[in-house]
A and B are shown apart, each in its own frame.
Chain A
Amino acid sequence: MTDKDIEAKVRELLALVLEKPIPAAQPVSRANEPKWDSLKHVELIFALEDTFGVRFSEQDMAGLDSIQSIVAALGRRHAA
């Protein structure tokens, strides 16, 4: 799975969780998306874990605060 594939899937999951479209290439983070609240963050983490077959540590979770950081974290796991 390439980073591009991962990003497309992450955007799809984020759109489902936030119940709003996430256009390709639009940078999205918790800092600039008010609907990405603490409950939605948990829902997104679980959706990522179920979809990608990974498990994030508590420490990881707080850092997964943008599409970019999520793609990077998933990319590292797939490369490992």
Chain B
Amino acid sequence: MRHDIHLQGPGFALRPVTETDSDFIIGLRTDPELGKFINASSPRREDQIAWMQKYYARAGDYYFLVTRHDGTPEGTIALYDVTGEGSDKRGEWGRWILKRGSMAAVESALLIYQAAFERLDLGMVYCRTVALNQPVVSFHTSCGLATFGIVPNNMIRDGKSYDAVEQRLMLTNWPAVRANLSTKAERLARHLPPPGNPARTKIGI
């Protein structure tokens, strides 16, 4: 859906995706390494734009571009299937792809949880990660998410089905997770080159 949620952290930011991001998104999603645990994507711009039109019409779907503070795209992330009311309001986050070598993982996770709990007032956020994608399952555990269970045949790709691990973060646990991720994101941001300096500044010892 079209939304207007913008979030800024110490080193990165989230903004709504637009059709102008199509080439960047296609590049990420068709990268053989980055895209191997997500649903297959067409490499054609027309298909991406058609997908975006359907996305705009879909309620409860918030798709973001992860950027540096100078606007340079770093990746994508989304919160979707947002349903329910009050403390039962929940949503899934995913479409999480960052450029190779990106250090935006911690902060982009922090920002999507901020969107979920502080902007959209969700009571719970969950993510379903292909079980074979062990580093991402481990990342969610390290962040403080509880493993809920296995979702059989959650993704079908190239005729093969994959189970997913569902992990959840409840609103009650958000303050502790926020504190942990914020501390790390703030220190990490001090290693980033200043906005407007595309050269990756080498910081000496």
Task: Give the CA-CA distance A77 to B204 in the complex, in Å.
Answer: 9
A46 touches B187 (CB 8 A): yes
In chain A, what residue has the closest Cβ to B141?
Answer: A37
Q: Is the C-beta of B119 less than 8 angstroms from some C-beta in chain A?
A: no
Please, how many residues of chain A have a CB less than 8 angstroms from a CB on the other chain?
24
Which one of B101, B137, B142, B202 lies within 8 Å of A39 (CB-CB)? Answer: B142
Residues on B with C-beta less than 8 A from A60 are 202
Which one of A37, A57, A80 lies within 8 Å of B139 (CB-CB)? Answer: A37
Contact with A along B8-23 (1 / 0, CB 8 A): 0000000000000000
Given A38-B139, A39-B105: A61 and B191 within 8 A (CB)? Answer: yes
Chain B's nearest CB lies how many Å from the CB of A10?
16
Given A57-B201, A62-B101: A39 and B184 within 8 A (CB)? Answer: yes
Given A58-B103, A61-B191: A34 and B138 within 8 A (CB)? Answer: yes
Contact with A along B61-88 (1 / 0, CB 8 A): 0000000000000000000000000000
Chain B's nearest CB lies how many Å from the CB of A39?
4
A39 touches B200 (CB 8 A): no
Task: Give the CA-CA distance A60 to B102 in the complex, in Å.
Answer: 11
Residues on A with C-beta less than 8 A from B193 are 58
> Taking each of B142, B187, B188, B202, which has the highest tally of chain A beta carbons within 10 Å of its own beta carbon?
B142
| B-facing residues in A9-67 (Cβ within 8 Å) | 30, 34-40, 42-43, 46, 53-63
Task: Give the CA-CA distance A55 to B201 in the complex, in Å.
Answer: 12
> Taking each of B136, B137, B138, which has the highest tally of chain A beta carbons within 10 Å of its own beta carbon?
B138
Task: Give the CA-CA distance A55 to B205 in the complex, in Å.
Answer: 5
Residues on A with C-beta less than 8 A from B136 are 37
| A-facing residues in B147-205 (Cβ within 8 Å) | 184, 187-188, 191-193, 200-205
Q: Is the C-beta of B106 less than 8 angstroms from some C-beta in chain A?
A: yes
Task: Give the CA-CA distance A79 to B85 in the complex, in Å.
Answer: 60
Residues on B with C-beta less than 8 A from A54 are 205
Which one of A35, A40, A55, A77 lies within 8 Å of B191 (CB-CB)? Answer: A55
Q: Is the C-beta of B32 less than 8 angstroms from some C-beta in chain A?
A: no
B200 touches A38 (CB 8 A): no
Task: Give the CA-CA distance A70 to B183 in the complex, in Å.
Answer: 23
Query: When A and B form their complex, which 9 residue pairs have the shortest distance between CB atoms, in order from nearest?
Result: A62-B101, A34-B134, A38-B105, A37-B139, A37-B138, A39-B142, A54-B205, A59-B200, A57-B203
- Supplied contacts A39-B106, A58-B201, A62-B100, 17 more A-B pairs, CB within 8 Å: A34-B135, A34-B137, A34-B138, A37-B139, A37-B142, A38-B106, A39-B139, A40-B142, A42-B184, A42-B188, A43-B184, A55-B205, A57-B191, A57-B200, A58-B193, A59-B200, A62-B102
